[in-house]
Amino acid sequence: MNLLVPYQSPPEKDSMLGRLMTLLVNKGIFVQSEAGYQLTPASELILTEGSNMGANLRFTTYAEVIKIWSRLSEVFMESGERSLFEKAFDGKKFWEFTKEKPEYGKLFDNAMASLSNAVMRGLIASYPHIFDGLNSLVDVGGGTGTAVKFIAGAFPNLKCTVFDLPHVVAKALKSESFDVVGGDMFEKILPADAIFLKNVLHDWNDEDCVQILKRCKEAIESNNNGGKVIVVDIIIGFESNDPKTTETSLLFDITMMGLVGSKERSKQEWHDIIIRSGYSDYKFYPVQLGIYSVIELYP
């Protein structure tokens, strides 16, 4: 275990800091020893470069956005479909806000990249066969390219492309191992053997998901080489038996409800949108990636 870097807070804060640390020790975030406070695996996650869950904490606790939760009860007292975010921001949608507020957009992109850092190596190690036989892959809603960086690194002969909104790909990682293209997934998606959708469909309601999945199907079919869609997302109730994993999935569900008015889906809900989008078959892979599952969709 690493020792924390010493920081000297003003002496009049010692008592308050001590009380806070007592709680955090009790929660297993730190351990106390004669040498001082030490990190535990939980607090190491926040600091580690590789996963850096601190980026997620900074994103989810952003002061201007966290206040939406104080309006939660109001949502249940009015009719209409506005999300909590839209209600709190006078109709503004989450994606407009991330675009208009670059500081928050950056926090969001970093948080997504940190989740990709945490799961992509495991995904490729657990399911290498899902990339077998592919010549091209487009990561739709691929953010700044962290997931594709792992895929292109593991499969150098696979032509990989990150596809996201123009203002997002403008900030994408620069690499010779993948291309970066800006566009709107509701309009047209680049043709490829495989469309990769990680943490994307849970941002959208069922109608929108059907539109996105139809665009994906068109992109695969126009490529004339068989092909499939690879979805990485939560499947509620399909997690491991670890109650913490289930709790995390349910917390994500409520987070999606609040931020974008969408949801995490059960197996049945995934089945419904996949079949409505015109796919002939699909396959669920059991969770080996913390809260995430993989679904392959075949046109």
Ligand X SMILES: C[S@@+](CC[C@H](N)C(=O)[O-])C[C@H]1O[C@@H](n2cnc3c(N)ncnc32)[C@H](O)[C@@H]1O
Q: Which C-beta is closer to ligand X: that of 88 or that of 197?
A: 197
Q: Which is nearer to ligand X, 4 or 154 (CB)?
A: 154
Q: Identify whether 271 is a catalytic site residue.
A: no
Cβ 136 vs Cβ 194: under 8 Å:
yes
* Residues engaged in binding ligand X (CB under 6 A): 95, 112, 115-116, 141-143, 147, 164-165, 168, 184-186, 198-200, 203
Nearer to ligand X, 64 or 184 (CB): 184
Least distance to ligand X from the beta carbon of 186, Å? 5
Shortest separation between residue 76's beta carbon and ligand X, angstroms: 26
Closest CB 236 distance from ligand X, rounded Å: 17
Q: Is 211 exposed, middle or buried, given 0-12, 13-18 or 19+ CB atoms closer than 10 A?
A: middle
User: Cα-Cα-Cα-Cα dihedral of 136, 291, 252, 242, to 10°?
Assistant: 170
Relative to beta strand 136-140, strand 292-298 is unpaired
From the centroid of its chain, how far is CA 264? 11
Closest CA to 189 of 210, 169, 213, 167: 213
Q: How many CA atoms lie within 13 A of 19 on its CB side?
A: 4
Q: Which is nearer to ligand X, 38 or 106 (CB)?
A: 106
Q: Does the CA dihedral 167-101-89-55 come out positive or negative?
A: positive
Rounded least distance, CB 145 to ligand X, Å: 9
Considering the complex, what minimum distance in angstroms separates the CB of residue 42 from ligand X?
A: 22
Name which of 39 and 230 has its Cβ closer to ligand X.
230
* Residue of closest CB approach to ligand X: 141
How far CA 87 is from CA of 79, 92, 165, 258, 291, in Å, comes to: 12, 8, 24, 10, 29
| Active-site residue list | 202
